Structure 1
């Protein structure tokens, strides 16, 4: 799949951080992880840290798929409101999903702390009402989250204007959020695994997968074989091609990053990621070196050539939208890009075995606006599945809920 357009900021900023080899001979391992993006890296790290013999294969260069285009907003807030999930799956399961996402933020911080230079930064999340008609829904959402132990504050329009320069009628301010450089985090994790003896191979395309009740065999496009006890398909949005079932809608999402802004210009936006209640939503976050990343203007066009042509016009539209919401900000894009973005009907990810392949093949589909947070949860969930242990979110995040 052609997953991105334009010039994603992270690879340009970081350059070629680490070189990984192609697979050049047949391989045996306990768990083969297909996908060398942030999801595959977190899952491989979790498995290897608990004694599993892991190998990672990626068809592109490591980190060069959707991870390179990610804007990396790390938040507990799911694209679907807690109130809506309660109606779909019951209050206990819905609240558990939200609380587990909140727990994933410090878990990601612990992973980043062990590595060098991932630009991980704790911050707040400001979720604002796009228009006055959305206020009752957001107030109800705030009350429900408080009831389930999620800490937040309600800000009115005057406070938003005064503290953030934001024109909006009200917002939920949560302290539990973070940002990171996803490309660095991925490369640092996989380079560390490689130093510890884990096989990490890029430019290695898996063309065939055969599973039995006892093992999995993978074949590369060059005819090499990987024999494993388990496989984890963490191929991001391209993972859908392995399943004969429509699980998500692919869309295109657009973003740009500014040059570093002058000291003091960001104010509280330097430590706050911002998003809105409209769908698709406008969002922004700061980088550690004082840039702003702005994203949104999603559309249903997932045709690479058409997406390519829209990058610059969508960047201009994003600039206008930011100007309307933040009259004091005058932004100029330094780089603009777009990427494939998949969303499920309920905003939840898919983790676990699919009936098409049996229990030896696990899928990691961390779709939605908080995909990295989902991947952190999924790493533990899939380890539990491989070790034949229960996990509290295994049912809710599984393919069983599709029925």
Structure 2
């Protein structure tokens, strides 16, 4: 699957990334991670701290799949509101999901002090604004739900929004505790640290097929075999080529990064911006004085068709930036790209075991919060492999039905 189209911005920010050899020969390990994107990187780093014998392989270079197209917004709030999660899954499960995201973001914010390559993770606030006046009651309800369960949320009216930004909207929720990141640097910094902690990394190593036995899994590559007690598949959207998840949906999405601005527009705390419309637009700034904008989602097509659509869709994104911030009218896009994006029908990611794949676990961080989901999965699966029970995995079960499951009798730790 060709995941990305157009010109991506991140490689220039790490001109000499670490490189790793291709597997040549047979090896053994406790855990094999298949995929060198955000999910695989988070898990490799987490397992390196536990001392487990771990191998990570990627058929491409590290961080060159979906993580290469990631726009780097990290939030506690999800595409599905807390109110909607409670309505769908029940109060205990809905709140648990948001608390797990909050906990994961806290751990992500600790990473810069723990890694050797700066991942450029920067704390940010967020503004979720009403796209239309009809969305205001929904925003007010969400504000009440968030505050009732201990999450940071302020309800802003039109005047307050206009006092802090170049634009005004019918209403908005302002919250703290979120972040932005450079996803390319983050993946490389995590894998570099995992490698220094003993994880064996192999790039350009394609898994051809697998044999499952009572004792583990044998992964056959082009030039060797990997004998693993357990396998974690962290292949992102390409997982759908291996097994179809009935609740997963793939689309095309688009993004731009502007040229550096002479000065930032009126943009309170350079917060992350997004809206209530679905599909939604989102905006952030970068440390080098640019703006990233994303959205304009559309039906999944072949990569050739997406290649053609990049220019027109990204021109529309540029107009959206100018509409919010008229003082930078005439700003140009330096990078424009499109990519495959995945979500789930019920709004939760997939992570955990699958009955048809013994000794295997999956990380499918589908949705707009994939980096945060990757941190959740890394923690839950690392504990599971170490023999510690994590009933929270039931919430993200790959075999879950549309009917809400009973709440796990746990609190996030």
For Structure 1 versus Structure 2, the TM-score category normalised by the shorter chain is: over 0.9
Conserved? CA contact 2:25–2:223, under 8 Å: no
Q: Whole-Å Cα distance in 1 between the matches of residues 202 and 50 of structure 2?
A: 21
More displaced, 55-64 or 268-277? 268-277
Give the TM-score taking structure 1 as reference length: 0.96
Q: Deviations over 1:15-68 (max 9, x none)?
A: 341111111111110000000011101001111101211100001111000011
Q: Which residue in 2 is equivalent to 1:400?
A: 399
Q: Whole-Å Cα distance in 2 between the matches of residues 328 and 159 of structure 1?
A: 19
Per the TM alignment, residue 389 of structure 1 is displaced from its structure 2 partner at its CA by 2.2
Q: Which residue in 1 is equivalent to 2:36?
A: 36
Q: Whole-Å Cα distance in 2 between the matches of residues 73 and 26 of structure 1?
A: 39
Conserved? CA contact 2:23–2:205, under 8 Å: yes
Q: Which residue in 1 is equivalent to 2:383?
A: 384
Q: Whole-Å Cα distance in 2 between the matches of residues 142 and 215 of structure 1?
A: 47
Per the TM alignment, residue 165 of structure 1 is displaced from its structure 2 partner at its CA by 1.3
Conserved? CA contact 2:164–2:268, under 8 Å: no
1:80 aligned to 2:80?
yes
Q: Which residue in 1 is equivalent to 2:274?
A: 275
Q: Whole-Å Cα distance in 2 between the matches of residues 235 and 306 of structure 1?
A: 23
Q: Whole-Å Cα distance in 2 between the matches of residues 328 and 139 of structure 1?
A: 30
Q: Which stretches in structure 1 are left out of the alignment for 5+ residues?
A: none
Conserved? CA contact 2:166–2:265, under 8 Å: no
Q: Which residue in 2 is equivalent to 1:99?
A: 99
Per the TM alignment, residue 132 of structure 1 is displaced from its structure 2 partner at its CA by 0.3
Conserved? CA contact 2:49–2:197, under 8 Å: no
Give the TM-score taking structure 2 as reference length: 0.93
Q: Which residue in 1 is equivalent to 2:193?
A: 192
Conserved? CA contact 1:209–1:218, under 8 Å: yes
Q: Which residue in 2 is equivalent to 1:371?
A: 370
Q: Whole-Å Cα distance in 1 between the matches of residues 400 and 327 of structure 2?
A: 45
More displaced, 286-295 or 63-72? 286-295
Q: Whole-Å Cα distance in 1 between the matches of residues 187 and 120 of structure 2?
A: 12
Q: Whole-Å Cα distance in 2 between the matches of residues 16 and 48 of structure 1?
A: 23
Q: Which residue in 2 is equivalent to 1:175?
A: 176
Q: Deviations over 1:78-118 (max 9, x none)?
A: 11111111121101110111121112112001123212321
Q: Which residue in 2 is equivalent to 1:134?
A: 135
Per the TM alignment, residue 267 of structure 1 is displaced from its structure 2 partner at its CA by 4.1
Conserved? CA contact 2:130–2:171, under 8 Å: yes
SS of aligned partner of 2:22: coil
Q: Whole-Å Cα distance in 2 between the matches of residues 304 and 270 of structure 1?
A: 37
User: How many pairs align?
Assistant: 400
SS of aligned partner of 2:164: helix
Q: Whole-Å Cα distance in 2 between the matches of residues 110 and 392 of structure 1?
A: 25
Q: Map residues 1-400 of structure 1 onto 2, 5 A cutoff.
A: 1-115=1-115, 116-220=117-221, 222=222, 224-263=224-263, 265-269=264-268, 271-330=270-329, 331-358=331-358, 360-400=359-399
SS of aligned partner of 1:225: strand
Q: Deviations over 1:274-300 (max 9, x none)?
A: 000101111011111211111110111
Q: Whole-Å Cα distance in 2 between the matches of residues 387 and 402 of structure 1?
A: 28
Q: Whole-Å Cα distance in 1 between the matches of residues 46 and 214 of structure 2?
A: 24
SS of aligned partner of 1:137: helix
Judged with a 3 Å threshold, the aligned counterparts in structure 2 of structure 1 residues 103 and 14 are, in CA distance, closer, same or farther, namely same
Judged with a 3 Å threshold, the aligned counterparts in structure 2 of structure 1 residues 190 and 176 are, in CA distance, closer, same or farther, namely same
Q: Whole-Å Cα distance in 2 between the matches of residues 247 and 32 of structure 1?
A: 26
SS of aligned partner of 2:273: strand
Conserved? CA contact 1:269–1:285, under 8 Å: no
SS of aligned partner of 2:98: helix
Q: Whole-Å Cα distance in 2 between the matches of residues 247 and 238 of structure 1?
A: 15
Q: Whole-Å Cα distance in 1 between the matches of residues 106 and 244 of structure 2?
A: 36
Conserved? CA contact 2:35–2:235, under 8 Å: yes
Q: Which stretches in structure 2 are left out of the alignment for 5+ residues?
A: 403-413
Conserved? CA contact 2:58–2:205, under 8 Å: yes
Conserved? CA contact 1:302–1:340, under 8 Å: no
Q: Whole-Å Cα distance in 2 between the matches of residues 84 and 212 of structure 1?
A: 41
Q: Which residue in 1 is equivalent to 2:409?
A: none
Judged with a 3 Å threshold, the aligned counterparts in structure 2 of structure 1 residues 17 and 368 are, in CA distance, closer, same or farther, namely same
SS of aligned partner of 1:9: coil
SS of aligned partner of 1:335: strand
Conserved? CA contact 1:240–1:247, under 8 Å: no
Per the TM alignment, residue 271 of structure 1 is displaced from its structure 2 partner at its CA by 2.8
